[in-house]
Amino acid sequence: MRPFLLLTLCLAAIACGEKRLTTASAPSGVGPDAILLRVPASGGVVRAYRSGRDSVLWESRDKAPATTALLGFDDFLGLAIGRDATERAYSVDLRLGVVETLGNTTFPGPAQAEGAAVFGLDAQGRILRVTPVATWSWAPSGGVEQLVPNPDGSLVVVSEEKGRARLTRVIPPEEHRTDSASLPPIHGVARTVVGDRIWFVTDSGLIALRSRDLTRALTVRLSDPVTVIEPTPSGDRLYVGTTRSSIRVIDRFTEEISGRIDLPAPATAMRVDPDGHYLLVRTAQADSIIVISVGTERIVSTLAGEWRADLPIVTPDGRVLLVRGRDVVHVDAETGRERVRYRNGASDLWRLVRWNGFRPRAAGLDKPVEFEEYAADSAAAERALAAMMASRYGDPSTIMRAPGATDTLGRDPSTRERAQPVVPEDRSGRETWTVSFATLLAEDRANEMAERIRVDGRVARVVAGNRDGIPIWRVVLGPYDSRDAAERAGMASKLPYWVFEGVP
């Protein structure tokens, strides 16, 4: 019996070991979802995959243009930012599936994104900041060498002045300089993900400045020329590649070199994964990718694959997405075992984003708010609301307009057709949903707002109502045959809205 039990335990351990989580794995359902975006370089439908799976999770409704680079992602707006072949920035809305061009300006030089804002230089050398709602440009005195956008909305402009690097901090769209600094000539810049420090490569080594006020935080002198630098996401360590076959590790807390990682050849490119588990390195003498564990500072594997601007990348499950031939494969970072293969994926552009927007929406979020003090007596709630409206705005029926006055659109309100209540739907049982934007006490304001809301050729309308003798006007759109259709219309309006079942 004892040998049999031992054999059973061994088999169970082997089976469990095959499915164990690596040190870089994250339990499912915790934190934002890891999503892989796949954008055809020649233009076409954008697809999304849940990391580690080959089934398509989402497809865009519009086709993306021919794309040269994926610049960033705004998790609040759900916008992926790219640059097309005409050097214009565009966005892909993961909620609506629409693709829109950002502004009418081009970025002939390098461009980078921070959230939904794209920064770059135009053909005249002016600084451009393009967002989904506005374009800002600024022509500072002196030539601009580099731009460093920060998560706090500020922008650090690097220019040359009398043989030195001049740093200026501004907060667009303001042009007022909040801080400035002067450094020796710089050859490279790297910013921490959290945005608290900016590293600059100089002839004598490295200089770190605090991004909030451009004061010097750390100076590291190195005898060898620096070729590439890469900070960890938290900024606690900085990896420095030089002309030697090794990587130096700088600790920001001890402010000194804390370690060294030997390589077969000098490093030419480095990339840390967003979770700070692995460091990917490309060397000068091989096409392979070296994987280094951040925790142990040791090489754990060497993977065959191509190094590009978008790939390889490390996903939260401890795997590496890289190019092999015509395909893109998902392999274990330490064992190299292939898990998923995306056929013909090498001709597309890839980006890893963190977003919860594809999760099912909880039904409780769509229920109207009930205030505890009035929930037990709906009549009391109605009277309290009417009293509050009357105390703030007075009796709307007594408001008179001066003779000859016009509304904000220049029309005579006496000639405008009054909004009529909508006849409720029939009793056939057909499901209908309505999008509501506002409930106003002034009819002219409601009509003005309704005429400005247009979604897919449909214009919002005004529905007159009455609450305890106080006339009100609701700005609504619909009805729609399904909640999903109503939600899409509300999001397409880009205005605050809520959806309710039926008609008002």
Alpha helices in 334-377 (DSSP H): 372-375
Q: Look at residue 418 in the predicted model and tell me its pLDDT.
A: 42
> How many CB atoms sit inside 10 A of residue 452's CB?
13
Q: Return all residues near 349 (Cβ < 8 A) that are at least 6 apart.
A: 38, 39, 40, 41, 67, 69, 70, 82, 310
Nearest to 242, CA basis, from 232, 257, 254, 252: 257
CB atoms within 10 A of CB 160: 14
Q: Name the 3-class secondary structure at 218.
A: strand
Give the CA angle between residues 212, 215, 217 to the nearest 5°.
100
Do the domain assignments include residue 61? no
Distances (CA, A) of 123 to 82, 134, 138, 325: 19, 19, 13, 37
Give strand pairing partners of 326: none
Q: Whats the size of the chain, residue-wise?
A: 504
Cβ(292)–Cβ(300) below 8 Å? yes
Q: How many Cβ atoms are within 10 Å of 357's Cβ, its own excluded? A: 16
The answer to whether residue 286 is domain-embedded is no
Nearest to 270 by CA among 290, 255, 245: 290
**Rounded to whole angstroms, how far apart are CA atoms 407 and 415?**
11
Do strands 197-202 and 205-210 pair parallel, antiparallel, or not at all (unpaired)?
Answer: antiparallel
Note the Cα 216 to chain centre separation in Å. Answer: 30
pLDDT, one tens digit per residue, over 95-125 is 999 999 998 889 999 999 999 999 999 888 8
In this prediction, residue 66 carries a pLDDT of 97
Taking 3-state DSSP, the helix, strand and coil percentages for the chain, each rounded to the nearest 5, stand at 15, 45, 40
Helix (H, G, I), strand (E, B) or coil at 65: coil
Tell me whether the omega of the peptide bond preceding residue 424 falls within 30 degrees of 0, making it cis. no
441 lies in some domain: yes
Q: State the pLDDT at residue 362.
A: 63
Q: Is 326 exposed, middle or buried (0-12, 13-18, 19+ CB in 10 A)?
A: exposed
pLDDT, residue 342, reads 97
Amino acid at 198: I
State in Å, rounded, how far the first CA of the chain is from the last one: 74
In a domain, 188, yes or no: no
What pLDDT does residue 382 have?
47
Backbone angles phi, psi at 458, to 5 degrees: -100, 140
Q: What CATH number is given to the structural domain containing 377?
A: 3.30.70.1070
Distance CA 438, CA 436 (A): 6
CA 382 to CA 432: how far, in whole Å?
Answer: 25
pLDDT at 364: 61
> Degrees (nearest 5) of the Cα angle 59, 65, 68?
105
Residue 418 lies in a domain: yes
53 within 8 A of 43, measured Cβ to Cβ: no
Cβ atoms within 10 Å, residue 354? 15
pTM over 0.75: no
d(CA 65, CA 84): 6
Residues in the chain predicted with pLDDT less than 50, given as ranges, are 1-28, 370-385, 389, 392-393, 396-428
Check: CB of residue 231 under 8 Å from CB of residue 237.
yes
- Say if 392 falls within a structural domain: yes
Q: Is 236 part of any domain? A: no
Quote the CA–CA distance of 235 and 238 in Å, as a whole number.
7
Per the structure, the count of domains in the chain is 1
How high is the pLDDT of residue 23?
Answer: 37
CA 469 centroid distance within chain: 47
User: In this predicted model, what pLDDT tens digit does every residue of 32-89 receive, in sequence order?
Assistant: 899 999 999 999 999 999 999 999 999 999 999 999 999 999 999 999 999 999 999 9
Task: Provide the residue range defining the domain that includes 390.
Answer: 368-501
* Cα–Cα distance measured from residue 97 to residue 114, given in angstroms and rounded to the nearest whole number: 21
Instruction: Take residue 191 and report the two structure tokens written for it.
Output: 């910013």
Does the bond joining 140 to the residue before it have cis omega, within 30 degrees of 0?
Answer: no
Task: Give a yes or no: residue 9 inside a domain.
Answer: no
